[in-house]
Amino acid sequence: MTPFRQEKDSLGPKEVPDTAYWGIQSLRARENFPVSGLRASKHLIRSYAFLKLACARANVEKGGLDAERGKAIVQAAEEMAAGKFDAEFVVDVFQAGAGTSTNMNVNEVLANRALEIQGKPKGAYDQISPNDHVNRGQSTNDTYPAAAQVAALLAFRDLRTSVTTLIESLRRKGKEFARLPKAGRTHLKDAMPVTLGSEFTAWAVSLERVLELLPSVETGLAEIPLGGSAVGSGVNSVVGFRARSVQEYGRLTGFPLKVARDPFETMQSRWPLGAASGWLRTLALELVRIANDLRLLSSGPATGFDEIRLPEIQPGSSIMPAKVNPSAAECLDQVAFHVIGADTATAYAVQGGQLEINVMMPLAAYEVLFATEILTNYLPVFARTCIDGITANRPRLEKYLVESAALATVLTPRLGYLKVAEVMHEAERTGKSVKALLVEKGLLKQEEVDSLLGEAALLKLTEPVP
């Protein structure tokens, strides 16, 4: 039989498993919101632990908390930040508004661990209270958004590394394929030549440009509402607590955290999470484009482009023998689609606040952190299992290149637009090559055709004009 302890809150008593560090309010949340089985992100747990650690130290320093209780709470928060109590976060990510259930889950775990450190029984909240001591000078309204924004900063630090890994893989392929000319395509129709390498390099550059947008998002996330308490005024906090807690929070996390320029605005608006989600959407859209281009270029082999070959990482069909699909690119699409959908949910949550507080912030925090997590997890895998092993199908590249009537565009300065169009249409109608028709019609000599449309000339055409 599991031993129980009795705890009491403002609604009355309940029995809580005595082995649990969480308490009665966490229990009520478990009973009231059995929605998804999803739990708080590891980044949110870490950021909340650092926040409570910073607040405990600031309260002791400024006289809001006695040293004995403060020391125990600090030790408990340090252990939480190290991951010791991850299993104690039992509240569903879909919960009551504002994140009160998560904040109290944190407060109860820290209070009960602090009591244990002092040799006292769990639930002895008259000695160390989740509300009066761990939550001293704080509210869910300022701590949850502050912790969520710092969690996003932690998560983006990991994601930046993953995106950079993919960029490096794309750039390596760009160099490997730098001198492989191929038919370009616009509107999915034949166009002037490019190199296979330029396509890969361009994908890398597009992701680099997205990364260049991230610092402005991080600047917004670093301005936090901690110290605002219930509505921004800092009610029930001691003088100096706001500035000192934010300063210590920044020191603990390594981020340049700032006190809100307007303590009321930063309680009301969750635009920093909206901006973070929008940046994730931008990244996802570029990833979808890249994944779909790879799928298109590798389509076939008999009935598609078949210009590149993706690594064969698993069988592609339960009924068609030897069929291999672009599985890694398909997975990347699905990850990116989820990120785009998460942005829509976040947008609704960000606009869903009223007056002094946004009660929908648990949804926004979850969507941003989960979207970041799945991208962080998969992008290095995609780089390794897909990009790094791509090979060029040189015969197919050459075949499409020499057969492309679009190459005749280079003849326009010599023969004029209408004459070149006439030759191109005839080539398409008769199946004859453009090169052969140019000589046959006496428009150019063979050596002139070779000079204008030979291999060296075509490779030069792929270079940007200074």
Is 303 in the same domain as 449? no
CA 85 to each of CA 42, 74, 79, 406, 432: distance values in angstroms, whole numbers, following the listed order: 11, 14, 8, 64, 74
| Domain-located, residue 291 | yes
Is 172 in the same domain as 75? no
Is 13 in the same domain as 100? yes
**pLDDT at site 183:** 93
**pLDDT at site 228:** 95
| Domain-located, residue 242 | no
Q: Which of 72, 101, 136 is the last residue of a domain?
A: 136
Going from the first residue of the chain to its last (466 residues), give the mean pLDDT of each consecutive group of 10, the final group possibly shorter.
90 96 98 96 98 98 98 98 97 95 98 98 97 97 98 98 98 97 93 95 98 98 96 95 98 98 94 98 98 97 96 88 92 98 98 94 97 98 98 94 79 89 87 86 89 79 80
Is 325 in the same domain as 415? no
User: Among the options 317, 318, 404, 433, which is catalytic?
Assistant: 317
**pLDDT at site 159:** 98
Is 166 in the same domain as 97? no
Query: Reduced to 3 states, what is the DSSP secondary structure of residue 12?
Result: strand
What does 48-80 look like in DSSP terms, one character per residue? HHHHHHHHHHHHHHHTSS-HHHHHHHHHHHHHH
| Domain-located, residue 29 | yes
Is 209 in the same domain as 353? yes
Q: What is the CATH number of the domain that holds 27?
A: 1.10.275.10
**pLDDT at site 104:** 98
Is 120 in the same domain as 12? yes
| Residue indicated by tokens 């270079």 | 463
| Domain-located, residue 78 | yes
| Domain-located, residue 245 | no
What tens digit of pLDDT does each residue of 228-285 get? 999 999 999 999 999 999 999 999 999 999 999 999 999 999 999 999 999 999 999 9
**pLDDT at site 129:** 98
For residue 30, the enclosing domain spans 4-136
Is 318 in the same domain as 215? yes
Q: Which of 369, 394, 419 is the last residue of a domain?
A: 394
**pLDDT at site 122:** 97
The number of domains in the chain is 3
Distance, C-alpha 399 to centroid of its chain: 40
Active site residue 101: no
Is 75 in the same domain as 155? no
| Domain-located, residue 411 | yes
**pLDDT at site 337:** 98
Is 389 in the same domain as 423? no
**pLDDT at site 254:** 98
